[in-house]
Structure 1
Amino acid sequence: MPRRPRISPALRVATLVPAVFVAVLFGWPLVALVRRAVESHDAGQGIGQLLEAADGWHLLALTLAQAVASSLLSLLVAAPIVWLLATVRLRGAAILRILVTVPFVLPTVVVGVAFRALLTGPLDFLGVDGGWIAILMAHVFLNVAVVVRVVTAAWLQVDPRTVEAARTLGATPWRAFWDVVAPRIAPAVAAAAALVLLFCSTSFGVIVILGNGTARTLETEIYQQAIAEFRVPEAVALSMLQIAVVACALVLARLLGGRGTVSGVSVVGREHRSPVGGLRWIPVIGTLVWAGLWLVLPVASLAVRSVRPDGRSWTFAGYRALVDTTFGDSPLMALRYSVTSALAAMVLAVIVGFLVAVSVTRGGGWAAQVTALFAVLPLGVSAVTLGFGYLLVVASLPRQVSASPLVIPAVQALLAVPVVAGIMIPALNQVPTGLRDAARVLGARPLWVLISVDLRLTVRSLCAAAGFAFVMAIGEFGATTFLARADTTTLPVMIGTLMSRPGLDNVATAMAASMVLIVVSAAVIAAIEIVGVGGTSASARPHDDRPHDQERV
């Protein structure tokens, strides 16, 4: 087992920063929720009674049913794309990976608007403008990336010589797949399904936009009870139930992920992807068309509807309205705040996430384990539940603190820290220990070793982690909805507000603002794909297919 490098006392103290950061920003709102739940119980209303009053058990069944259905549909839609990326050497594969990844990092409210444009535009003949069918379609669009990244990485690590041996013994291609490949990727398929289940059980923006006021889940009902009806005890009870559900889904994803996922891509798998030729072009083209229908058509429909909101005449009124301040702050001002807030959140997330990675890879011991546990804890609670907890906390603070412009960036950073840590831990593990030893022999202090060796060799991974943190922060909708004020309204929150208002002009503005967020997110993901996540050193393994989304948990 490789020797873990020593960590200086100063770095050891610095690695406690993530624990303190998460304990304050994550523990405080949860304690506020639990305290309010206890107070409600002491007042004579038990959690069970409150759940009955809020129809909690029925909402739990609906939440789990739509999450399971979304997981199964995501597996079916992603299957051809996984086959293409895992077995075919195709020019432009990086573009396909970008198309697959962009939906996953888009704000969920933007995805809801995109599918509203799709279902009332090209797919208007289906007669579906919202409801559960539309929600399931949007969830598939969002989560195909999870399945593709995780399962493709596992497939690429299957030794092709075992497949060739099966073929030599007379197995058909299908038989070789089912007997050799399928058992080896089955744990990764299960892990991907569990992750999709986790994400869909906490879906908020999609259901708010596409639910038509009738589709409800635990997530949306927490917001309804807390904000619209101000029934705080019922909202707290639903939050407690939501925490239990998401915690179970997170444990399931962790257990399956430990069995079936991988941290890198083997050279053997990558070198044995075969080129396209002859009749093989038929399934390849079919798969590309399939991917386009699911991943490109919704965005293209939104782009068209943003300049043709009524479906008949062309106009740029929605884009002109981005600078309109007639009724208060314009969407452009909200975008400016969103970018500023996301940049601040990115800096916080990168610092905290990098310190988590340093603690795990260089510290060792119980302190590193505690730090790593604290870093992933925010994934165990939905953003809406967390936002509701913050609402209770902020209400008890002095206005100077509650009105601070750092509140929203801090919450956004908290949700992005697990992504940064997930990318940086394998990157730091790839740094050769001998380089650190050589730097220490030459007289470098531990901090300078960290900067001149670890940080220098993982700078591309750090840039990619920063990019993911930025797009997650700029698109955060659930928690920010509870915390946004007139002067701290983010663009996703404004889009949700515009979509809830009557009038074609509001819809056009919301669609134009959504296109702005899509362009920003796509540009960042393209930059990440170009920079790469894993090229940390000459000894680093190939990184093009590393499952970023798998490392999120």
Structure 2
Amino acid sequence: MDRSRTALIWRYAGRGLLLTPLLFLLVFFFYPLGSILQFSLAPDGKLDFAAFQQIFSRPYYRETLWFTTWQAALSTLLTLGLAFPAAHVFAKYQFPGKSLLLALATIPFVLPTVVVATAFIALLGEDSALNGLLMKVFKLEEPPLHLERSLKIILLAHIFYNYAVALRIISSFWSNQSQRIQEAAQMLGASRWMVFYRITLPLLLPAVTAAAALVFMFCFTSFGVVRILGGLKYATLEVEIHYQSLSLFDLPTAGALSVIQLMTTLVMMIVYTNLQRQMTQPLNLQSSRQVARKPRRWAEKGWLALNLIVMSLLIFAPILALIERSFTLGDGGFTTRYYEQLQENPHRSIRAVAPVAAIQNSLEYAFFVTIFSVLLGTLAAYLLSQKTRFSRWLDPVFMLPLAASAVTLGFGFIITLDEPPLNLRSSYWIVPIAHTLVAMPLVVRSVLPSLRAIKPSIGEAAAVLGASRWQRWRRIELPLITRSIAVGATFAFTVSMGEFGASSFVARPNQPTIPIVIFRFLGQPGLANYGQALAMSVILMAVCAAGFVLIERLNRAVIGEF
């Protein structure tokens, strides 16, 4: 009797524990979003659309909304235009270093936005090595390239940042397409272009559209890239939300802009998930090894070489420029003084905080975020792994923080978490909480497939042999999901180190993170500030790249959704 009562207590305690991630989302995600809706739709307790009327009636806000939309659309078209030919190369041809190059192509996507923006300043800015080389070769007195604070550099940065997203989605789907339909059409007399236009392209349409939806969503919510590279001339909704809330303190307008942006990203997320479901439908797929072959003709070899050259320049040029300028800025000779200055705190230091202190802050935040994200994400994965209608409904709920922009989350925090019992706005823990919201869905997507792959018969056999629920978890389930947890933990740590949007709202001035200090340095005149921004960007890039390499190595033995 006592044993059955104990088992019942453990069962209900376990169910309550599994609901902890949902409670975390309710308090720190849905509650702030609800407050944003209240501020935008009912600022005085009554339903009022004045903020929305102001946005759609004033030319400035209409232009901001229009610019946000068309720059995201143009960035998406340019990204797909470059990624689609490369996807064809990776899907159809085998060549040395293919897997390594595909892994390296993904590194830009895991880089923080401030690092990407700094890299493009190092490559195409007035003090860049490229401008210096052109001035020396053509004996010019002024830098020929003036791309800073221009739309061109924003578009280039967006392409760099999202290229791997489109490449991976399209190439992975294309590489598994069966060749039998195309071969049959060619035997019936159809030309190669007719086969591509009438058969291949329609089959690829779900993958191409899914990639477009995801890239558009990322460019539509772009903050760090536009804020740093665009300056005051260009502003997306994300930048305008930040400006309205922190500079003008116009919370109703910021709330209305957040609602418009959130609705747009949710539509894009719905489109993406529906198309991804279509991509999983059986379409007579083949192994990618059966589809890919070595290029035979000179035209195929030339096509392969051209795409690899474009891909290498797009990926490696900004990264190499960032590293090079961090060691040669100034007189042109090799120097490590900008790295050495990160340990100093002279009177000219921004906000009297030494840069090395920001590195320590980011490491501390990332440590706690990793712990919180792994615990909550693993519990959420267990909740979703149960084959119930409730768990199927919750699956997209746990992904919602990825659809909401970090700036929107940060704005929700500052208008919500300022009164007891959740008076956290000046608390140390508000930054780890904000980062955990962004990182937890990544842990869920890492752990959930491994949990679903565990056969129930294994646990049932252990139970028959007398193993308790704790023993079954510790001896069977935990070893099987350990690598997946490690992948999710690495994602959480990397995301926390590079998070900028939410941190710009909630981080205390005396406890900045690395991205915030990089942004402050870039906003100050002088080579010393710019050099330290480059040095900190290289350090942050190295940490994120190391994390991605670890993820790639762990993923080789993990069933995951990345």
TM norm. shorter chain > 0.5: yes
Q: Please tell me whether residue 137 in structure 1 is matched to residue 156 in structure 2.
A: yes
Partner of 1:111: 116
Tell me which of 311, 332, 337 is aligned to 1:317: 337
Q: Matched residue of 1:336: which SS? A: helix
* Secondary structure at 2:149 match in 1: coil
Q: Which residue of 2 aligns with 1:543?
A: none
Matching residue within 305, 325, 334 for 1:305: 325
Coordinate RMSD, CA, aligned: 2.8
- The correspondence for 1:346, drawn from 370, 380, 396, is 370
Deviation at 1:172, TM superposition (A): 5.0
Do the aligned partners of residues 47 and 400 (structure 1) sit closer, same or farther apart at CA in structure 2, a change above 3 Å counting?
A: closer
Given candidates 18, 25, 28, the residue that maps to 2:31 is: 28
Distance 2:353 2:390 in 1: 46
Task: Pick the aligned partner of 2:249 from 230, 245, 249.
Answer: 230
CA shift, 1:158, in A, is 1.1
Residue of structure 1 in register with 2:139 after alignment: none
User: Equivalents in 1 of 2:304, 2:363: separation in Å?
Assistant: 39
Task: Return the offset for 1:471.
Answer: 1.3
1:162 to partner: Cα distance: 3.8
Q: Post-superposition shift, 1:523?
A: 0.9
Offset, 1:161: 3.9
Q: Distance in 2 between matches of 1:113 and 1:184?
A: 39
Separation in structure 1 between the aligned mates of residue 425 and residue 200 of structure 2, nearest angstrom: 54
Decide whether the 8 Å contact of 1:150 with 1:547 is kept in 2: no
Q: Per the alignment, do residues 394 and 13 of structure 1 end up closer, same or farther by CA in structure 2, a change over 3 Å counting?
A: closer
Whether contact under 8 Å (1:225, 1:234) holds in the other structure is yes
2:86 aligned with 1:66, yes or no? no
What amino acid sits opposite 1:360 in the alignment? L
How far does residue 494 in structure 1 lie from its aligned partner after superposition? 0.8
Separation in 2, partners of 1:268, 1:31: 46
Q: 1:48 aligns with which of 25, 36, 52?
A: 52
Q: Deviations over 1:466-520 (max 9, x none)?
A: 2122211111110110011134311011111111112221111111110111111
Q: How far 1:219 sits from its partner (Å)?
A: 0.6
> How far, CA to CA, are the matches of 1:266 and 1:510 in structure 2?
48
- State the secondary structure of the residue aligned to 1:255: helix
Give me the whole-angstrom Cα distance separating, in 2, the residues matched to 1:191 and 1:262.
14
1:296 pairs with 2:319 = no
Distance 1:412 1:330, change over 3 A: same
Q: Who is 2:396 aligned against?
A: 373
User: Contact 2:91/2:291 (CA < 8 Å) preserved in 1?
Assistant: no
Deviation of the 1:398 alpha carbon: 7.5
Counterpart CA distance in 2 for 1:398 and 1:325 is 37
Task: Quote the residue 2:271 is aligned against.
Answer: 252
Deviations 1:95-137 (Å, cap 9, x if unpaired)?
Answer: 2122221111111111111111111232664432232211111
Aligned equivalents of 1:490, 1:455: Cα separation in 2: 33
Aligned residue for 2:417? 394
Partners of 2:422 and 2:508 lie apart in 1 by 13
Q: TM-score, normalised by structure 1?
A: 0.89
For residues 305-336 of structure 1, give each alpha carbon's deviation from its aligned partner in whole angstroms, at most 9, with x where no partner exists: 21233474543232122111223222222112
> Relative to structure 1, is the Cα distance of residues 229 and 403 closer, same or farther in structure 2, using a 3 angstrom cutoff?
closer
Change in CA separation of 1:184 and 1:140 when aligned onto 2, cut-off 3 Å: same
Question: Conserved in 1, the CA contact under 8 Å of 2:418 and 2:424?
Answer: no
CA contact (8 A) 2:490 2:547 kept: yes
TM-score, with length taken from structure 2: 0.87
Quote the residue 1:18 is aligned against.
21
CA distance in 2 between counterparts of 1:209 and 1:386 reads 20
Q: CA deviation at 1:168?
A: 4.7
Q: Report the CA distance between 1:298 and its aligned residue.
A: 0.7
Change (3 A) 1:528 1:399: closer
In structure 2, which of residues 190, 205, 217 is the aligned counterpart of residue 186 of structure 1? 205
Structure 2: how far apart are the matches of 1:178 and 1:24? 50
**Greater relative contact order (CA < 8 Å, ≥ 6 in sequence):** 1
Q: Matched residue of 1:478: which SS?
A: coil
1:551 maps to: none
CA displacement at 1:352 relative to structure 2: 1.9
CA distance in 1, matches of 2:280, 2:455: 23
Q: CA distance change for structure 1 residues 270 and 316 in 2, over 3 Å: closer, same or farther?
A: same
SS in 2 for 1:404: coil
For 1:154 and 1:520, the matched residues in 2 are separated by: 30
* Secondary structure, aligned partner of 2:399: helix
2:482 is aligned with 1:454:
no
Structure 2 residue aligned with 1:39, among 39, 43, 52?
A: 43
Q: In structure 2, do the counterparts of structure 1 residues 200 and 68 end up closer, same or farther at CA, with 3 Å as the change threshold?
A: same
Cα offsets for 1:382-420 (capped at 9, x unmatched): 111110111112333589744332221111111112222
Do the aligned partners of residues 179 and 526 (structure 1) sit closer, same or farther apart at CA in structure 2, a change above 3 Å counting? same
Among 197, 212, 217, the residue aligned to 2:231: 212
Inter-CA distance 11–100: structure 2 relative to 1 (3 Å threshold):
farther
Give the aligned partner of residue 468 of structure 1: 491
Q: Offset of 1:153 from its aligned partner?
A: 1.9
C-alpha change, 1:427 and 1:277, in structure 2 (3 Å) is farther
What's 1:437 paired with? 460
Matched, 1:83 2:88: yes
User: Which structure has the bigger radius of gyration?
Assistant: 2
- Residue 84 of structure 1 and its aligned partner are, at CA, apart by 2.6
Query: Which residue type is aligned with residue 336 of structure 1?
Result: Q
For 1:267 and 1:461, locate their aligned partners in 2 and report how far apart those are by CA, in whole Å.
27
331-340 or 184-193, larger mean C-alpha shift: 331-340
Aligned 8 A contact 2:37 2:256 in 1: no
Measured in 2, the distance between the counterparts of 1:226 and 1:262 equals 45
Whichever residue aligns with residue 532 of structure 2, its letter is: T
- Describe the shift of the 1:398–1:16 C-alpha distance in structure 2 as closer, same or farther (beyond 3 A): closer
Aligned residue among 213, 217, 220 for 1:201:
220
Identity of matched residues, %: 32
Structure 1 residues 156 and 351: CA distance shift in structure 2, 3 A: farther
Which residue type is aligned with residue 323 of structure 2? A
Inter-CA distance 250–342: structure 2 relative to 1 (3 Å threshold): same
- Give the CA deviation at 1:439: 2.5
For structure 2, list consecutive stretches of 5 or more residues without a partner in the other structure.
1-9, 132-142
SS of residue paired to 2:502: helix
Q: Secondary structure at the match of 1:458?
A: helix
Task: Tell me the distance in 2 between the aligned counterparts of 1:247 and 1:459.
Answer: 32
Q: Is the 8 A contact 1:324 1:330 kept in 2?
A: yes
Alignment of 1:148 onto 2:167: yes
Q: Please give the per-residue CA displacement for 1:150-174, whole angstroms capped at 9, x wherever unaligned.
A: 1122112212444444455555554
Displacement of 1:447:
4.1
For residues 493-512 of structure 1, the aligned pairs below 5 Å read 493-512=516-535
Q: Is the 8 A contact 2:52 2:253 kept in 1?
A: no
Residue of structure 1 in register with 2:7 after alignment: none
Q: Could you tell me which amino acid in structure 1 is paired with residue 308 of structure 2?
A: L
Residues 273 and 449 (structure 1), Cα distance of their counterparts in 2 relative to 1, 3 Å cut: farther
Count of residues paired in the alignment: 532
CA distance in 1, matches of 2:189, 2:342: 64
Tell me the CA shift for residue 179 of structure 1: 4.2
Write the letter of the residue equivalent to 1:306: S
Residues 535/171 of structure 1: CA separation in 2 closer, same or farther (3 Å cut): farther
Equivalent in the alignment of 1:527:
550
